[in-house]
Amino acid sequence: MRQILIVGAGQSGLQLALGLQAQGYDVTLMSNRTADEIRHGRVMSTQVMFATALQHERDLDLAFWEPQAPRIEGLGVSVAGPDGSRAVDWVGRLDGFAQSVDQRVKMAGWMEAFAERGGRLVIHGAAVSDLDYFSRTYDLVLVAAGKGELVSMFERDAARSAFAEPQRALAVSYVHGLGPRPEHPELDAVRCNLVPGVGELFVMPTLTTGGRADILFWEGIPGGPLDVFQGVKDPGEHLALTLELMERYTPWEYARATRVELTDAGGTLAGRYAPTVRKPVGRLPGGGLVLGVADVVVANDPITGQGANSAAKCAASYLASIVEHGDRPFDEAWMQGAFDRYWETAQHVTKWTNAMLGVPPEHVLGLIGAGERHQAVADRFANGFDDPSDFEGYLYDPAATAAYLASVGAA
């Protein structure tokens, strides 16, 4: 039986561990926290999983919370005008529903399931020196811990990394008490509010440790008026600042947030990081090799909501590559090939995310505006969050955008 070590118990690490376990592999999972520490700790992300990523979980019988989590059936875009009104406002319908489950709930539950199914769970914050030893003990070592010392083993891929500095300052609040959008009170939808020159506010229904909730997520241009959360330690102060900025820049969202309260003391998060693509093979001091997983090797800004989706897709891709490889050695060529297979999907996410971090060109603004006049445009844009490769056909090239809009108008 082939022995595999996975370091990191997030979306990708746990999904891959459970998938390999189901295929009969001898899997060891290493986490720096217990399931209870995760469940009762601070929120870790703003995950919304779209249809393809959710299906990867269903394929492994891991959709434990699907009956309880809100069914997100739409994705809306609003653009703030100079006077504080909405210059653009529409909602696109998703072909397959999306869902968000607080990663404290999901990771803790999956970790317990892995142990109950006979998996070897080690609670230990791994260092490079640990992996040097383990690389001689296991047939394959995968690093799925996207922060800390271990990431330094993976060289930055300058040709694929457009930015050297963070492009947004991030601030998250999980809340109870958010009212429905009056325009579509019956529809659970992700709302993307764009404030030109300032940043973005995302509002997302979720399932958290205390039941149904919503996520308020500011992405601020560094140095701008939203970049004010550094050093804010008190959760109540964090929420008050979030609401103050909503009242100023997105009053239509603030109007339904006047009675919100934090879900719990761990319901806030702030930070920033530079979007980076890294080379997938890490070299250990003793000569061993490890393979990077998900945001260890492709870390995008969360502006397009792709982090958890990409992690699920990477885990599914790596699972297929491992199983198909049979009993052959997991050498450097195989590792590079496994990553290249995943990059066929991931490259579209990186291209789209990096484009959305810049100032939108005129043709993109026209496309977003057209979503208000043409439901087909709104729906297609919304479904691009599930399959970002579709943007290749109509988003990046002004002529392709014009041709698409002309075809929609003719239809």
Judged against a pLDDT cut of 90, whether residue 137 lies above it is answered with yes
Residue 1: which pLDDT band, with cuts at 50, 70 and 90? confident
Judged against a pLDDT cut of 90, whether residue 384 lies above it is answered with yes
Query: Residues 8-47: pLDDT tens digits?
Result: 999 999 999 999 999 999 999 999 999 999 999 999 999 9
Does an H or E element contain 243, and which?
Answer: helix 235-249
Neighbours of 1 (CB within 10 A): 8
Extract the tokens encoding 2: 């082939």
* Domain count of the fold of the chain: 3
Residues 137, 281, single domain; the answer is: yes
Residues 290, 392, single domain; the answer is: no
State the Cα–Cα distance between residues 253 and 180, nearest whole angstrom.
10
Task: Note whether residue 245 is domain-resident.
Answer: yes
Rounded percentage of the chain residues whose pLDDT exceeds 70: 100
Query: Residues 258-288: pLDDT tens digits?
Result: 999 999 999 999 999 999 999 999 999 999 9
pTM of whole model > 0.95? Answer: yes
Mean pLDDT of the chain: 96
Residues 218, 230, single domain; the answer is: yes
Residues 17, 151, single domain; the answer is: yes
Q: Across residues 329-340, what is the average pLDDT?
A: 98
Going by C-beta distance under 8 Å and a sequence separation of 6 or more, which residues neighbour residue 326?
A: none
Rounded percentage of the chain residues whose pLDDT exceeds 90: 96
Domain with residue 244: its CATH number is 3.30.9.40
Query: Residues 72-124: pLDDT tens digits?
Result: 999 999 999 998 899 999 999 999 999 999 999 999 999 999 999 999 999 99
pLDDT reported for residue 216: 98
HSE-up of residue 169 (Cα within 13 Å, Cβ side): 15
Judged against a pLDDT cut of 80, whether residue 410 lies above it is answered with no
State the Cα–Cα distance between residues 366 and 283, nearest whole angstrom.
47
Judged against a pLDDT cut of 80, whether residue 151 lies above it is answered with yes
Show the domain range for 402. 363-410
pLDDT reported for residue 330: 98
Task: Note whether residue 285 is domain-resident.
Answer: yes
Query: Residues 167-211: pLDDT tens digits?
Result: 999 999 999 999 999 988 999 999 999 999 999 999 999 999 999
Residues 131, 173, single domain; the answer is: no
State the Cα–Cα distance between residues 408 and 102, nearest whole angstrom.
38
Task: Note whether residue 52 is domain-resident.
Answer: no
